[in-house]
């Protein structure tokens, strides 16, 4: 899907699509989106794949959350005010502790991605210790995998 993809035989999920409209708050005085905001859009898209309610329950009931360990991002093209972008997301399980995410931002009518990213997330408890993802969560997320 993009240049950051590791050459492994990991099983990748289907591609999820998530729309984000670019508002004043997203831009800076150079006229395009301020680059750290792309990481926000990627996070929003991941929250939709996992489910915000599930993330909330994991935290409230088990003190678990996902922390970003690694983000590699390439910004190929500026994204502009009023654009409605398509955030494309695929993920895989690298282990029971870690998920890997391939995410891209596509501008309207684009023939290639404006931004591509490779992001690694780890499951942690509320003492910031690496923790295995609960089996039910893995089962739930596995439903988005191609059979």
Q: Is 24 in the site for its own copies (CB under 8 A)?
A: yes
**Interface segment toward its own copies; rule CB under 8 A; list 45-53, 87-95, 106-114, 139-147:** 45-53
Q: Is 47 in the site for its own copies (CB under 8 A)?
A: yes
Q: Is 130 in the site for its own copies (CB under 8 A)?
A: no
**Interface segment toward its own copies; rule CB under 8 A; list 5-13, 16-24, 94-102, 131-139:** 16-24
Dist. CA 59–CA 55, nearest whole Å: 6
Dist. CA 125–CA 130, nearest whole Å: 7
Cα dist. 25→14, 20, 22, 29, 62 in Å? 31, 13, 8, 11, 34
Dist. CA 137–CA 49, nearest whole Å: 12
Q: Is 44 in the site for its own copies (CB under 8 A)?
A: yes
Q: Is 140 in the site for its own copies (CB under 8 A)?
A: no
């Amino acid at each position: 899907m993009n240049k950051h993809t590791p050459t492994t035989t990991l099983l990748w999920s289907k591609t999820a699509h998530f729309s984000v409209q670019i508002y004043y708050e997203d831009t800076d005085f150079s006229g395009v989106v301020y680059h750290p905001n792309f990481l926000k859009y990627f996070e929003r898209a991941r929250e939709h794949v996992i489910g915000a309610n599930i993330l909330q329950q994991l935290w409230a009931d088990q003190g678990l959350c996902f922390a970003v360990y690694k983000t590699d991002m390439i910004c190929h093209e500026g994204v502009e005010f009023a654009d409605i972008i398509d955030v494309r997301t695929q993920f895989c399980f690298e282990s029971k502790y870690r998920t890997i995410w391939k995410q891209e931002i596509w501008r309207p009518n684009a023939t290639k991605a404006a931004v591509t990213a490779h992001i690694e997330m780890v499951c942690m408890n509320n003492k910031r210790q690496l923790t295995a993802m609960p089996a039910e969560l893995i089962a739930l997320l596995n439903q988005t995998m191609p059979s």
